[in-house]
Structure formats: structure tokens, C-alpha cells
Amino acid sequence: MSKTLPDEPLFSDHVLLMSTPEPDNQKRDCSLPPGCKDLIDAIRLQKEEIRVPLPPITGRISLPEKVAVRYLAELLRRDMHSFLAELHELGICVCWHRSMNFCDAQRILRRHGIWADRTR
């Protein structure tokens, strides 16, 4: 015994039809910065403007593939709370008792004027 679906909806008088919104391109264009075709381009443009220049390299260090977070904080003479806040600002999420990979350690050290080489 198979059931067949009715040709008309059961509650046809309760169907709500929504019209598609008409894009107002003239209104959009005036609110975006020059060279941006949509909002994501404007957001990317803001992120590029925030970049701060890196300080000159004043020191060099050799690091292994995995580096203890505590070691980097001591090396930079930073307290652990502000050092972890800086790591989170860079998008590096790690606990104080863990290790981080060389690439992330190199990024944070370069930000403080120290160049890191990888030990072999």
C-alpha cells in the first residue's frame, strides 16, 4: 500500500511568498573603499593597513623543531601572562607548560628583533 502526495499543498492559504531583494549596487559602491567590490575586500584591506614594521634584527639564536613556551618567555624577559597574550594576538594558541613548533617561535622572536635558525 503506497501513499501518494497531493498535488496541492495541504495549507495553501498559509503559504508566504517572499520576493527576492533587489540589489542596490549604487548604494553599495559608495560605502565601500576604492578598489573593493564587496565587504570581504574591505575587511582584507583593513587587515593589511594594521601591519606594523618589524624592528631591526639585533640578535640570532638557534632553536630545535620544538621549543618550550617558558624558554621563549624567559629569553624575551617577559612575564608569562603578557607573553601568552601576545601569542594569542598572533593566533598561536598554546599553554605555558607546552612546546610550540619552530615556525611559530621564529615569528614571535622576529617580532622582537631576534632571528631564529633551525638546529640540525
d(CA 18, CA 73): 58
What is the per-residue DSSP string for 48-88? HHTPPPPPPP-EEEEE-SEEEHHHHHHHTT--HHHHHHHHH
- The continuous run of DSSP H or E covering 99 comes out as strand 99-101
Give the amino acid at 30.
Answer: C
Over the Cα atoms of the chain, what is R_g? 27
For residue 8, name the pLDDT band (cuts at 50, 70, 90). Answer: low
DSSP annotation of 19 reads P
Write out pLDDT tens, residues 35-68: 788 888 877 776 655 567 889 999 999 999 999 9
Q: Could you tell me the three cell numbers for 31?
A: 560605502
Can you give the pTM of this predicted structure?
A: 0.57
For cell 573603499, name the residue. 33
Q: What angle do CA 100, 103, 107 make, to 5 degrees?
A: 100
Domains and CATH numbers, the chain: 59-118 (1.10.10)
Of 26-30, 38-42, 69-73, 91-95, highest mean pLDDT: 69-73
d(CA 89, CA 83): 10
